[in-house]
């Protein structure tokens, strides 16, 4: 196959640059979609095998319209190791959070939390579709083998009592094992429905 090297491409109205499907321009940076998953009565939803520390500096996990099969549940998140056919990466997860209600004068914080294997994402997720009870948000995931693997969760929840709530959570686990993915589950019952999307934040390569 012939290769054409061009130092400068002049701007011109209507000009486009096309890249073959599944490929990127060299030195490209920004978000790259890596995988997605749709929950359907899943006790545990696993997202794994997407970590590539040579290409990505961090990862964004976006979740839309998650519903709990059982009313008023807390959503938890844990880490994975070994890729798509790997296993749970368990240990002590430390964290803290801030929350505020959007339709009431009420807010709060908590710190120095300790969780066994899975950490808090948000609380009181409803299951009644007639009152639009659901949960949406995003996580930013920073896996490493040198120190602490961090993840942040920022969510908006239509709670089981009708409250609108914003919830910010910060979690970290000290481990020398690379976390290759994540797992999510409610405290009781299944994840009835909802969508997860995983994006890698590409490193800038000079």
Confidence band of 92 (pLDDT split at 50, 70, 90): very high
Spatial distance between the Cα atoms of 81 and 85, rounded to a whole number of angstroms:
9
Both tokens assigned to 97: 């959070």
Backbone angles phi, psi at 129, to 5 degrees: -65, -25
pLDDT band at 98 (very low <50, low <70, confident <90, very high): very high
38-61, pLDDT tens digit by residue?
Answer: 999 999 999 999 999 999 999 999
**Dihedral sign computed on CA atoms, order 50, 51, 55, 56:** positive
Is the CB of residue 178 less than 8 Å from the CB of residue 143? yes
């Amino acid at each position: 196959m012939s290769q054409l090297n061009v130092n400068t491409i002049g701007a011109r109205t209507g000009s486009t640059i096309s890249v073959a499907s599944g490929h990127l321009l060299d030195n490209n940076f920004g978000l790259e979609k890596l995988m997605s998953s749709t929950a359907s009565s899943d006790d545990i939803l696993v997202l794994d095998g997407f970590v590539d520390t040579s290409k990505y500096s961090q990862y964004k996990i976006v979740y839309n319209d998650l519903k709990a099969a059982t009313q008023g549940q807390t959503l938890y998140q844990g880490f994975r190791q070994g890729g798509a056919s790997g296993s749970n990466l368990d240990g002590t997860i430390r964290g803290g959070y801030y929350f505020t209600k959007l339709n009431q004068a009420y807010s709060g914080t908590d710190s120095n939390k300790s969780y066994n294997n899975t950490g808090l994402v948000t609380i009181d997720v409803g299951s009644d579709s007639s009152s639009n009870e659901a949960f949406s948000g995003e996580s930013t995931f920073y896996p490493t083998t040198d120190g602490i693997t961090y993840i942040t969760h920022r969510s908006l929840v239509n709670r089981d009592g009708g409250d609108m709530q914003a919830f910010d959570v910060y979690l970290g686990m000290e481990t020398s094992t690379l976390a290759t993915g994540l797992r999510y589950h409610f405290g009781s019952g299944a994840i009835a429905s909802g969508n997860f999307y995983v994006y890698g934040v590409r490193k800038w390569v000079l």
